[in-house]
Structure 1
Amino acid sequence: MWRTTGRHRVGTTVAGAATAALVLVGAVSGCSAGDGGGQGGRGGVSAARPSAKPTPEWKANPSSIAAVGDSITRGFDACSVLADCPEASWATGSDPEVRSLATRLLGDAKAAGSSWNFARTGARMADLPAQLEEAAVQRPELVTVMTGSNDACRATAGAMTPVAEFRTDFERALKTLRARLPKTQVYVSSVPDLMRLWEQGRGSPLGRKIWNLGVCPSMLADPLAVDAPAVTRRKSVRARVVAYNDALREVCGKDPLCRYDGGAVFQYPFTVGQLSRWDWFHPGKDGQARLAELAHRQVTAARAPLA
């Protein structure tokens, strides 16, 4: 399904964040209750509470970006059939038709040396820790994460990654990153609504033929079938995607430098014109451009979107 491979190299830096020191203040009072001696009474000892650790500030202008994920982030089928096209990636691509997140944030010249694409065709959430290990070497100020579609796109609905396993793998991935880069910002995209992609692409005879070659069978097998088993199967896949997004939101929400997109990608009404003309499933260049636009809006927003 949304597949991923290879790297698109593009510079490096690390975001800064302040750390508060704990200050203990002791005061011994010999004053009476009537002369302003404060709490504790005569001869009592009072101590101020340690100052709270400040929440790290989100920077809307990171100077370097690394992307991890699956084939959508590799631009699979965006330029030619059955091939990655990292230059059309929503995250780090150089194609002017897409205007990737890296290009929008850094500009063309800087993006060429300060962004990297570590996404892999066919990757699932279980592959994310290893990708983040690679990304951490470059010490990016921002990491973009878009993965989960392949966890839902299995041979059968019963073979989808369990939600608990998906959550654990994502927690492990963030822990892996934080061990190396405690101050790097993380932008997490929601998993796309696979049912919407089925609805948009099923009208194409050529698209259906390509789907029958094995594109996301859990959702796209027998694309014209509307009997009870087919409807139940598709609904179960969609429900699993919703559960994955809940896990992304909850885990990301525990990290002050992690920003979930609030479901923006899942909710985006992709049209058939924004899908790849080679598989009617992955985003084409126009679809990649919409993803870049959504990401830029969330990364540069003053506050994280409501989940």
Structure 2
Amino acid sequence: MRKRSHRLRAVHAVTAAAVLAVAGCDAAGAGVSGDREAGAGAAPSASPTPLWDTHPDSVAAVGDSITRGFDACMVLTDCPEVSWATGSDAGVDSLAVRLLGVTGAAQRSWNEAVTGSRMADLRGQMTQAVLHRPELVTVMAGANDACRDSTGQMTSVADFRRQFQSAMDALRQALPKTEVYVSSVPNLKRLWSEGRTNALGKQVWKLGICPSMLGDADALDPAATRRRETVQARVVEYNKVLAEVCAKDRRCRFDKNAVFDYEFDTKQLSHWDWFHPSRNGQARLAEIAYRTVTARNP
């Protein structure tokens, strides 16, 4: 009997520990079954705050000339008022205007992008962006990493990954809860195939616009074809890196290659250089960004 009594006390002790453990889990928010079983009319627990707010209250943009609206209004000139991310132009209807309204966008959006920048410059821009303490940061960078004088000068995939991760780390160290929208790098090969149909555009390209892809625009020999395929493959790899780094962050959304896959034509290209987005192109970028940011289940 004594041994049996000891065994019963041991069983009771284990059972009591299990009950306390379950109660502890409920207290931590893992469940409310204990409250329901008590039947004391306890109020239901509040719904957890979602990780992604589909309507953030402020926006900062980082990136390159596309986000600066370069060549969309005047030749060789930034035109941030038509930026897809933070611009005020009614025809573009930027992401910031769609989210915050015209007045809100004027007061609570900031454009820290820099024309000509590459992924290596993104951390510095991110450091500037966090000073505004935005609830959303938009990222569009990578085209200039592929658009070099030669394919050999393109940023390596490993460096691209390290640089993007470094920029994300800079943001997270300062603002752990800020959301991030990441745009894919545009399809440079489609840009070549669309723009080369315009004689003026090809002449402008000869001034040195994205030589790795757009140089010798009419050349279709094996070397030219191989050069363009090399650039295209690198852009695909860049987009894979953007997706993978973003996927590790619960408050980051990649556009799932929506910008890369968009079948733009010459209406979406600047008629100053047939490379950067026109007002029409900036508006299409804003649409894609807004759909991604406001989707309940991206």
| TM-score normalised to structure 2 length | 0.86
Residue 273, structure 1, aligned to residue 250, structure 2: no
CA–CA distance in 1 between the matches of 2:9 and 2:230? 70
Deviation track 1:3-36 (CA, whole Å, cap 9, x = no partner) reads xxxxxxxxxxxxxxxxxxxxxxxxxx96465x79
Structure 1 residues without counterparts, runs of 5 or longer: 1-28
CA–CA distance in 1 between the matches of 2:184 and 2:49? 24
Matching of residues 5-84 of structure 1 within 5 Å: 31=9, 33=11, 38=15, 57-84=51-78
Structure 2 residues without counterparts, runs of 5 or longer: 1-6, 31-47
CA–CA distance in 2 between the matches of 1:230 and 1:271? 22
Between the two proteins, what is the percent identity of the paired residues?
A: 58
1:138–1:32 Cα change, 3 Å: same
What residue in structure 2 maps to residue 241 of structure 1? 235
User: Which one-letter code corresponds to 1:170 in the other structure?
Assistant: F
What residue in structure 1 maps to residue 157 of structure 2? 163
What residue in structure 1 maps to residue 204 of structure 2? 210
Deviation track 1:67-86 (CA, whole Å, cap 9, x = no partner) reads 00000000001011111100
Residue 176, structure 1, aligned to residue 170, structure 2: yes
SS at match of 2:240: helix
User: Which one-letter code corresponds to 1:139 in the other structure?
Assistant: R
CA–CA distance in 1 between the matches of 2:8 and 2:278? 76
SS at match of 1:107: helix
1:122–1:300 Cα change, 3 Å: same
What residue in structure 2 maps to residue 20 of structure 1? none
Pick aligned residue for 2:109 from 104, 111, 115: 115
CA–CA distance in 2 between the matches of 1:245 and 1:122? 19
What residue in structure 2 maps to residue 303 of structure 1? 297
CA–CA distance in 2 between the matches of 1:177 and 1:278? 35
Shift of 1:45: 11
User: Which one-letter code corresponds to 1:266 in the other structure?
Assistant: F
Shift of 1:187: 0.3
**Rg larger for:** 2
Residue 154, structure 1, aligned to residue 148, structure 2: yes
Residue 96, structure 1, aligned to residue 68, structure 2: no
For these two proteins, the number of residue pairs brought into alignment is 272
**Matched-pair contact (CA < 8 Å) for 1:187–1:261:** yes
User: Which one-letter code corresponds to 2:104 in the other structure?
Assistant: K
User: Which one-letter code corresponds to 1:298 in the other structure?
Assistant: T
User: Which one-letter code corresponds to 1:181 in the other structure?
Assistant: L
| TM-score normalised to structure 1 length | 0.84
SS at match of 2:15: coil
**Matched-pair contact (CA < 8 Å) for 1:140–1:184:** yes
CA–CA distance in 1 between the matches of 2:20 and 2:187? 57
CA–CA distance in 2 between the matches of 1:129 and 1:62? 22
User: Which one-letter code corresponds to 1:66 in the other structure?
Assistant: A
Taking only aligned residues, the RMSD between alpha carbons, in angstroms, comes to 2.3
What residue in structure 2 maps to residue 16 of structure 1? none
CA–CA distance in 2 between the matches of 1:124 and 1:52? 44
Shift of 1:39: 9.1
CA–CA distance in 1 between the matches of 2:165 and 2:29? 25
Residue 289, structure 1, aligned to residue 291, structure 2: no
What residue in structure 2 maps to residue 18 of structure 1? none
What residue in structure 2 maps to residue 231 of structure 1? 225
CA–CA distance in 1 between the matches of 2:259 and 2:16? 54
Which one has the bigger helix percentage? 2
**Matched-pair contact (CA < 8 Å) for 1:56–1:257:** no
User: Which one-letter code corresponds to 2:179 in the other structure?
Assistant: Q
